[in-house]
Structure 1
Amino acid sequence: MKWFPLMILVYLSVSFLSLYMVKNIDTATSEFHGLGVSGILPALLYAIFNTALPEEIFFRGFILKRIPSKFGFYAANLIQSVLFGLLHGTMFFSIAGMIKAMIIIVLTGAIAFCMGYVNEKKAGGSIIPSWCLHVLSNAFASFVALFSIL
């Protein structure tokens, strides 16, 4: 898994760019803003179990496992990644504007496509690699909020 450190770097870079674009807007991690050390455990639990795990189970564990039989792997991966991107970006159309929302949709969709590929083609169908990356990204976003970095 020599590609995993590179994926982490790319994923965190995309996360930082997305966070920067919505830095003055309430997001899922806004509730942790400024809590510092006292918010680390709740933020980690939130990142692990409230967002990353259910999203990975649904998008890469359910959708990506069910659609390939009808459309093939690449079309199925594209479908799950577009849906994932839409889930993460659509909410920003009215509060961040169309351009920022579209950038978030494309960035998160591209990451979702890569995670789907890694899970299915490099990790034997396991969602653990994408779950770990997703947790890392969400924890990163939480830490940015916890310590008021942006």
Structure 2
Amino acid sequence: MTTAVRSLLNSRDTAFRSGDAAQYSMARANLRRGIKAAKEDYKGKVEATIGIDFLSKTMYLEDRTVRLQLWDTAGQERFRSLIPSYIRDSTVAVVVYDITNVNSFQQTSKWIEDVRTERGSDVIIMLVGNKTDLSDKRYLVM
């Protein structure tokens, strides 16, 4: 376990600010839909991201308060300049790719590089394959 992870878990009041650095809007939208479905106010409609979308949830784990913030960045090139400012304070980066699109997976290395440029090794990076219900169309076999 890295020092960063250990200090996060030992903190009494932990905030996870996650930059969701997915390139393809459907992958991000589906992830957001899943998170929003857990909230009572979810109406089943996911709007396309323009700029940045934000979700926040406070959870209580034993003696800790954990605040999860999900910053969903638009994948379009014109919004690319916004992304470093959201990555900069992240504790965790969730890089999402579409398992049915090989280009989506290939782009993850660019997103991971962006996270490392802003945060160095002081961040947890989670690589998430989305659309697992379409496993018959999977380009990558794990």
Higher helix share: 1
Structure number with the bigger relative contact order (C-alpha 8 A, sep ≥ 6) is 1
